[in-house]
Amino acid sequence: MAQSWSLSVLGWVPGIITMLVSGVLFYITSLTMHKFIMKNPSIRDICDFGYFAFGKSRLAYEFTGFMLYSSPSRWRRRDSGADF
């Protein structure tokens, strides 16, 4: 939904350019994270990545965990049809 909204606001050419630039940035970020995780095999999840990436800070570990737990995708109601 955000992609169609951004295309309607920016237009076709700037919207596609923006999508391509963000795709390249996401690709570079994923490669950087992959290299970092391969060098540090003790990293198991995103909280561990935050811990190591910010200088082994316990605050960064807790903040990463909090942000992961409080993401809006967890707020949506998952209606599976079963009443548990």
3 state SS of 13: helix
Q: Is 58 inside any structural domain?
A: yes
Q: Are residues 22 and 3 in the same domain?
A: yes
Residue pLDDT, tens place only, 36-59: 999 999 999 889 988 998 999 999
Q: Residue 31 above 70 pLDDT?
A: yes
Chain centre to alpha carbon of residue 48: 14
Number of domains composing the chain? 2
Q: Are residues 35 and 48 in the same domain?
A: no
Q: Are residues 16 and 47 in the same domain?
A: no
What is the four-CA torsion angle of 65, 27, 44, 63, rounded to 10 degrees? Answer: -20
46-53 helix and 58-69 helix, angle to the nearest 10 degrees: 150
Q: Are residues 51 and 34 in the same domain?
A: no
Q: Is 64 inside any structural domain?
A: yes
pLDDT of the residue at 77: 60
Q: Which domain holds residue 52?
A: 42-74
Q: Is 83 inside any structural domain?
A: no
